[in-house]
Amino acid sequence: MQTNSLHSTRIDKWLWAARFFKTRSLASNAVELGRVLQNELRVKPAHAVKIGDLLEIHHAEQLWQIEVVKIIEIRGSATIAQSMYAETAESIAKRQQKSELRRFQTEPAAQLQQRPTKRQRRQLSHILID
């Protein structure tokens, strides 16, 4: 397995190895769509990521702000992946706050006891759209 001997690698490969995305093509697609920013700039999937770079990753309703600590091109275990980056304190606080808000939100369909009527479906869709 490769360790700190690398100085840079492709950003999509690093995101995949750090386990932010399940496949490299998903990581590449996210970078192309602008969901991953490197040092507050949009980059292409082949752009090099180096130690000390700041990445902002929008993935699955989560926002991660991290600093690259280690470059590894091979996808390893979760503990190795977590050692590749350091999340900022601000990012941790924001994610915990969002998780608390989600915990207290009720599911609109939870109040229904049976299959919703047409009128109830319209009301549910109106709630979800707003």
Q: Which residue ranges make up each domain of the chain?
A: 1-87, 91-130
Give the model confidence (pLDDT) of 67-116 as tens digits. Answer: 999 999 999 999 999 999 999 999 999 999 988 888 887 776 666 677 87
User: Long-range contacts made by residues 109-114, C-beta under 8 angstroms, separation at least 24?
Assistant: none
Backbone φ and ψ for 122, nearest 5 degrees, come out as -60, -45
CA distance 118 to 34: 39
- pLDDT score, position 124: 83
CA distance 122 to 125: 5
The CATH architecture one would assign to domain 1-87 is Roll (3.10)
Sign of CA dihedral 20, 73, 44, 86: positive
- pLDDT score, position 3: 46
